[in-house]
Structure 1
């Protein structure tokens, strides 16, 4: 057992493995762009009906802010 420990401590690390595929530079990822735009448009479609309610709450807050004395 001590011989195995001595061999592992004196052995050199193996060379790093080379990849099978060649390295590519930076490029646009169109599939991720499509997913991102799809999520964005989905959120717009979901939140667009809430826009009138948000506008009403904003207007009420502005009116009450202007009516209350500072």
Structure 2
């Protein structure tokens, strides 16, 4: 990376942009909240039963990696 690339960082806007729409207030979006919780529950229903298999595969890869390194020495 050259010194010229370091100067290519984005700069602060020089002019404030005005919009027609009002600013967003801090209110809850109940529909999106429910959708997010539904996705979380769905992922948990799918992944929790698969967790033992994921752990077994992870442990087997660690054991095979250890054995391969032990043979290589």
What residue number does 1:46 align with? 46
Q: Cα distance, 1:34 vs. partner?
A: 1.0
Q: Which runs of 5+ in 2 are unaligned?
A: 1-21
Q: Which runs of 5+ in 1 are unaligned?
A: 1-22
Q: Cα distance, 1:28 vs. partner?
A: 1.6
Deviations 1:3-37 (A, max 9, x none): xxxxxxxxxxxxxxxxxxxx574222022101111
Hey, what's the Cα distance between the residues in 2 that align with 1:25 and 1:53? 45
Q: TM-score, normalised by structure 2?
A: 0.57
SS of match in other structure, 1:57: helix
| Greater Rg over alpha carbons, structure | 1
How many residues end up aligned between the 2 structures?
A: 48
What residue number does 1:63 align with? 63
Hey, what's the Cα distance between the residues in 1 that align with 2:30 and 2:23? 16
What residue number does 1:34 align with? 34
